[in-house]
Amino acid sequence: HITFQAAAMSSRLVPLVVGCLLLFLNLACVEAGAEAYRLLEELADDLDAGSFVEIGSDRGEGSTAWLNSFAAATGRDFFSVDFSEEGFNNAQRVCGPCAHRGMGETFLEVEFPALSRTGKIAFAYLDNYDWVWAGEHPESYTLQFPAMLPDEQLSPYKLKMRKEYREEGLTLNNEESQKAHLEQAIRVHKQCTERCIILFDDTFPLGGGRYSGKGGAAMAYLLAEDRFEVIQQSDPSVPSYQGFAMVRRLISDGESAEAGASERGSEPASPWLDQGRDTPPPVPEVEWLRPINQQSLACCSLAASIRVRNAVPEYHTLVMYVDLLERWRRVEWSGDSEDTVQFEVAMPGPKRVLLGAHIVGPGADGVPT
C-alpha cells in the first residue's frame, strides 16, 4: 500500500496554468532528448548551395561535430556561434576556426556576410539562448520564468546558468530566449537561399498552428504571409523538452525580409474562432479518477486515469508529469464535454515522487495560457 496527497492549485494564484494537480506516488521516470539536426541528412538532395550556421554551440550532445562533418562532406562553409566561453571552447576543440564567440544576432548581421563564401545561408540551426524547463512549477509556462525566483530556489544547474548569463549582461528568462531566436530568424531570412531550412530545438506545438519554447515567436514570424512552411516537427504528444520544429522557405516568399526585429508576425487564426465563435473557449478542468488514497498497487506499473472536461480539439493540451518532468502530452479530444485519459506509469521499485497534470492552451500572441 502507498499513501499519496492530492491538492488543486488555486487558479487565482496560478493565472496562466489551468487545473494543476499534485499527487505523491511510488513511481520512476526516464529523461530523454532529441537530435533533430540529423534529419538534415534525409534532405541532403534538396539543400541549396550555401553556408551552414549553428547559433548555440553544443555542450556535449554532438551537434557541432555532426554539422561540421556534414558541411565539409558537402563542400559548405560551417559556422558555430556561442556567447559563452564554455560553448565557444567546445566548438574550437571540434572544428577550430569554425567557432565564433558572440551573440548570434550580431554574428549574422556583421560577421557572416564577410566570412561566408556565398553570403547565403542554406541551413540554420537555432538552439541557443536557453529556455528554462520548469516541470510543473506554477509559473513554468510564463515567459518571465525563472526571473521571479530568487537564487536559492533554483537548482544548482539553473543557478549556474543564471550566473553565466549575468556575467554577459543578459537576463535568463524564457521571454528573452524567444526574443533572441526571433531576431536571429529575421536575420537568417534576410540572407536565406531560395529554399533555405531553419531548425529550432526546444520548440513544441501548442495547437492551432502555434508554438512555444525557444522558437515560439520566430515560428509565428516565419509562418506568417507564406514565408516558410513546416516540413518536420516533433509529435505534439511527446514531452515538450523533446520538441523541435523545422521549416523551409517557400518559393512564393517575395518579401524583402526587412521587418524589424520586434515583429512577431500575424498569428494563425484560432481553430475555436474559425468555427464562427466570437467568445473565448471554455476553461478546461482536470480531475484525478485513480489511483485513490490507500489503493493497493501491484508491481510493476500503475494505471492512472484523469477526467478532462471542456477540452477543445486542436486548442488544449493536457501535460502530464512524473517527478516534475513531462512524460506525456495529449492533444486529441472527442469534442464532447468530457474525456477520460488513461496512462501507465512504470514502478520498478518504491520511491516517493510527484505526479501532476495541467491543461495548456495557445493563448494570445502564441503565449501559452
Please tell me the least confidently modeled range out of 26-40, 218-232, 257-271, 330-344: 257-271
Indicate the residue type of 57: S
Report d(CA 71, CA 80) in Å as an integer.
12
pLDDT band at 16 (very low <50, low <70, confident <90, very high): very low
Report d(CA 155, CA 165) in Å as an integer.
15
Please tell me the least confidently modeled range out of 26-35, 52-61, 68-77, 85-94: 26-35
pLDDT at residue 320 in the model: 81
pLDDT at residue 221 in the model: 93
Q: Report the candidate in 123, 251, 130 with the shortest Cα–Cα distance to residue 201.
A: 130
pLDDT at residue 73 in the model: 95
pLDDT band at 12 (very low <50, low <70, confident <90, very high): very low
Helix and strand tally (H, E) in the chain?
A: 8, 17
Given a cut of 80, whether residue 9 has pLDDT beyond it is no
pLDDT band at 10 (very low <50, low <70, confident <90, very high): very low
Cell of 168: 554577459
Contact present, 102 and 68 (Cβ < 8 Å): no
pLDDT band at 362 (very low <50, low <70, confident <90, very high): low
pLDDT at residue 138 in the model: 59
Q: Give the chain's radius of gyration (CA, Å).
A: 22
Kindly tell me the burial class for residue 299, based on how many C-beta atoms sit within 10 Å of its own C-beta (0-12, 13-18, 19 or more).
exposed
Question: Highest-confidence range of 244-248, 263-267, 336-340, by mean pLDDT?
Answer: 244-248
pLDDT at residue 5 in the model: 35
pLDDT band at 314 (very low <50, low <70, confident <90, very high): confident
Share of the chain above pLDDT 70, in %: 73
State pLDDT tens for residues 22-61.
333 333 222 333 589 999 999 999 899 999 999 999 988 8
Report d(CA 219, CA 207) in Å as an integer.
13
**pLDDT (mean) for 280-301:** 72
